[in-house]
Structure 1
Amino acid sequence: MRRILTCLLLSLALPASAQIYKYTDANGNTVFTNQPPQGVAAQPVELPPTNTVEAQAPTPPAASDNGETTTEAPYRLLQLSDLPSAEALRANDGTFSVGVELEPRLASNHRLRLLLDGQPYGQPSNVPRLQLTNIDRGEHSLAVEVLSGDQPIQQSATVMFAVQRVNTSSPALRPPPAKPKPAP
């Protein structure tokens, strides 16, 4: 009984590789179909073979001279951009953004995360423009790392920069004292 059922199911799969036909209808339109119409001269269409791509086996990490396995950095270029090199960064509220230059493009399974003063900062992102918020004034170090899952796989060079913010306790920013009202 099982053999008969299997043969029936296999015979149903045969029309999936059916022939395609081409003909011109009464209005002059070209029509493609899998069943030739009655009384119309339909021509079979020969399709080229479909393209196939064989899966490539992943290359194992290379072994170094001392027997340890090492992996090459996946990005030839990984660096921060849009940070001033000589002067201080003016950000009165401590909010600014930095760019990340990458070559090649960021892989779909990788994310970028900033390292501010050596500590992870913010959520990992796949966007090469990262924002920092409410950064204290003074000198800081900043780098960007590439994550695969939660594991860092590559890190940029560390950049030093200074943030300049307005000091809100400055006398120039205080409101003027209220003037006393004259007595009647």
Structure 2
Amino acid sequence: MNKWLIVLSLLMSSVASSYAADTIYQWVDENGITHFSDRPQQGATPLKVEVTPPATTGPLVTPRQPLKKQQKAIKYQVNITSPNHEQTIRDNQGKLDISATTQPAPLNNMGFKLILDGIPQGQITPIANFQLTNIDRGAHTIKVQLVDESGKEIASSKSITVFLHRANASVGGATASGGG
């Protein structure tokens, strides 16, 4: 039974591989094995095979939709507008107000994050205005980042340095409130 299944599959593959061949040749070798071929062989018996021509109506391949042009990524620019780079600020409470702008305007799912001395301050806010209080006197670096809803940085301002002078240096960390 397996022998006939193999023979039938060979026959079908011969038919499938050659649409023009409509004659198959069959012979049995000295070991009793039946063979099939699309070429005449010595001692082979020709067998007539009905071959259905391939379908010619319609496209052979379904055309795909043209690729949509990818939108160019928007290049955002963030600039700190206040305070100025290397500005000296005198405030005995250690208060520091920071404002920034961005071009173009950010999307609704974006926000701003303030970085003071390399450490993120407060929460991501929809407005690029920050007010820090109880900042220690001395030099501080400030950067404002535009971020997406997951906090991934999209754009960042250049770091600026400001100098805070306080008549009374108090011990304590900075606290931030954003959006105001």
Which AA in structure 2 matches 1:105? A
Q: What is the RMSD of the two structures over their aligned residues, measured on CA atoms?
A: 2.3
**TM-score, normalising length: structure 1:** 0.49
Equivalence for 1:115: 115
Measure how far apart 1:100 and its partner are.
0.6
**2:172 is equivalent to residue 167 of structure 1:** no
Supply the distance in 2 between the matched residues of 1:58 and 1:131 (Cα, whole angstroms). 43
Q: What aligned pairs does 1:39-78 form with structure 2 within 5 A after superposition?
A: 59=70, 72=73, 74-75=75-76, 77-78=77-78
**2:156 is equivalent to residue 145 of structure 1:** no
Supply the distance in 2 between the matched residues of 1:168 and 1:116 (Cα, whole angstroms). 18
Aligned pair in 2 of structure 1 residues 58, 134: CA closer, same or farther (>3 Å)? Answer: farther
Which AA in structure 1 matches 2:155? Q
Between the two proteins, the alignment pairs up a number of residues equal to 102
Measure how far apart 1:87 and its partner are.
4.2
Supply the distance in 2 between the matched residues of 1:153 and 1:58 (Cα, whole angstroms). 22
Aligned pair in 2 of structure 1 residues 103, 87: CA closer, same or farther (>3 Å)? Answer: closer
Which AA in structure 2 matches 1:154? A
Identity of aligned residues (%): 27
Which AA in structure 2 matches 1:137? R
Supply the distance in 2 between the matched residues of 1:87 and 1:141 (Cα, whole angstroms). 11
**TM-score, normalising length: structure 2:** 0.50
Supply the distance in 1 between the matched residues of 2:71 and 2:162 (Cα, whole angstroms). 39
Aligned pair in 2 of structure 1 residues 135, 102: CA closer, same or farther (>3 Å)? Answer: same
Supply the distance in 1 between the matched residues of 2:81 and 2:99 (Cα, whole angstroms). 5
Equivalence for 2:104: 104
Aligned pair in 2 of structure 1 residues 138, 168: CA closer, same or farther (>3 Å)? Answer: closer
What secondary structure does 1:88 align onto?
strand
Larger Rg: 2
Measure how far apart 1:108 and its partner are.
0.5
Runs of 4+ in 1 over 2 A off after TM superposition: 57-61, 84-87
User: Structure 2, unaligned stretches of length 5 or more?
Assistant: 1-67, 171-180
What secondary structure does 1:109 align onto?
coil
Higher relative contact order (CA 8 A, sep 6+): 2
Measure how far apart 1:109 and its partner are.
0.6
Aligned pair in 2 of structure 1 residues 58, 120: CA closer, same or farther (>3 Å)? Answer: farther
User: Structure 1, unaligned stretches of length 5 or more?
Assistant: 1-56, 62-71, 170-184
Q: Does structure 1 conserve the Cα–Cα contact (< 8 Å) formed by 2:95 and 2:132?
A: yes
Measure how far apart 1:60 and its partner are.
6.4
Q: Does structure 2 conserve the Cα–Cα contact (< 8 Å) formed by 1:94 and 1:133?
A: yes
